[in-house]
């Protein structure tokens, strides 16, 4: 089995940059003030009432892995001990949060859980899909190792029991300018900021993804999502209508629908229109995250549509 790739970018609400930054600041204040108490161990039972402090706030210190289970679920009884054992082995590099979905339905609804066991993670307040089903320990370990790499790349490198750093390193002011412009819905300034970064660092993946995000937000600014989807239904072969509908579906979290819509257009078209539809699909892949399981599946579908 190839090493699983855990996406972080694809989990982010592209239109909520300001809210995300405020959430981080609020979490840091609560941690510094002691409002977020140290966990009793590396495995904690989490309820709807404790989710904010035990999962969201904690995720700014260490990754939080969420085991969504139920007492009647037989595969859960196989997976949960594996997760607990690995949490103990890693000794505070991450926290295992156990959520009984029957007792805490709003948590499972928030994660759009379709079946259990489902394992999610949260890093810096952002949900990260991991896997479903009772996987064997070696595969679970691969997902966790990849999660820790993603967390480290995003500045989450703490360990329970260690003192938190006095101050988080300052962010890159070039990106801060783009974030501020996005908050102000100033797409021209945001796009210019990302293009400036790419001019000096052409391979910067974050700047490339940021530019695509701004372009998506620009395209959908003022668009009525319901009307866009209806228009696409009335013009199934229109590149403009289908692309707009896919954009609003992506922003609303309907990733599978957005990708399937554009791949089906690739299947039906030819020439320049097919090339443009393919480029739109590839841009959506980048926005969701190349390691997202939905993208991995969609890449196969795209190849089949092309060939």
The reply to whether 73 belongs to the active site is yes
Q: Give the β-pairing of 118-123 and 95-100.
A: unpaired
The catalytic position among 36, 43, 64, 76 is 76
C-alpha dist (Å) from residue 179 to 191, 212, 219, 220, 260: 10, 13, 18, 18, 30
Contact 128, 122 (CB under 8 A): yes
> Residue 11 has which token pair?
């989990």
Q: Can 76 be counted among the known catalytic residues?
A: yes
Q: Return d(Cα 274, Cα 265) in angstroms, integer.
A: 8
DSSP the chain: -PPP---SGGGS-TT-HHHHHHHHHHHHHHHHHT-SPPPSSSEEE--TTTHIIIIIIGGGTS-EEEEEE-TT-HHHHHHHHHHHHHHHHHTTSSEEEEEETTT-HHHHHHTT--SSSEEEEEETTEEEEEEES---HHHHHHHHHHHHHHHHHTT----TTSPPPSSPPPPPHHHHHHHHHHHTT-HHHHHHHHHHHHHH-TT-HHHHHHHHHHHHHHHHTT--HHHHHHHHHH-TT-HHHHHHHHHHHHHTT-HHHHHHHHHHHHHH--HHHHHHHHHHHHHHHHHH-TT-HHHHHHHHHHHHHH-
Residues 6, 43, 73, 86: which is the catalytic one?
A: 73
Catalytic residue numbers read 73, 76
């Amino acid at each position: 089995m190839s090493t699983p790739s855990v996406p972080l970018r694809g989990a982010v609400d592209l239109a909520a940059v300001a809210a995300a930054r405020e959430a981080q600041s609020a979490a840091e204040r609560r941690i510094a003030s002691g409002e977020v108490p140290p966990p009793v161990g590396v495995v904690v039972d989490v309820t709807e009432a404790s989710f904010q402090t035990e999962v969201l706030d904690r995720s700014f210190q260490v990754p939080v892995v969420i085991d969504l289970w139920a007492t009647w679920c037989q595969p859960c009884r196989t997976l949960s001990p594996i997760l607990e054992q690995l949490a103990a082995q890693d000794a505070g590099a991450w926290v295992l949060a156990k959520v009984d979905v029957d007792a805490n339905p709003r948590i499972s609804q928030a994660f759009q859980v379709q079946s259990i066991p489902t394992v999610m993670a949260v890093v810096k307040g952002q949900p990260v899909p991991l896997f479903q089903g009772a996987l064997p320990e070696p595969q679970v370990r691969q997902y966790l190792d990849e999660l820790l790499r993603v967390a480290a790349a995003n500045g989450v490198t703490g360990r329970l029991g260690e003192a938190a750093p006095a101050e988080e390193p300052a962010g890159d002011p070039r990106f801060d300018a783009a974030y501020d412009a996005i908050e102000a819905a100033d797409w021209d300034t945001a796009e210019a900021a990302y293009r400036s970064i790419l001019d000096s660092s052409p391979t910067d993946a974050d700047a490339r993804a940021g530019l695509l995000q701004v372009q998506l937000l620009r395209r959908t600014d003022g668009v009525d999502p319901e009307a866009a989807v209806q228009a696409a239904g009335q013009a199934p072969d229109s590149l403009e209508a289908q692309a707009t509908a896919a954009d609003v579906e992506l922003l609303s979290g309907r990733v599978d629908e957005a990708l399937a819509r554009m791949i089906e257009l690739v299947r039906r078209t030819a020439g320049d229109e097919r090339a443009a539809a393919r480029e739109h699909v590839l841009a959506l892949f980048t926005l969701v995250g190349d390691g997202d399981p939905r993208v991995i599946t969609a890449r196969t579908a795209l190849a089949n549509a092309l060939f």
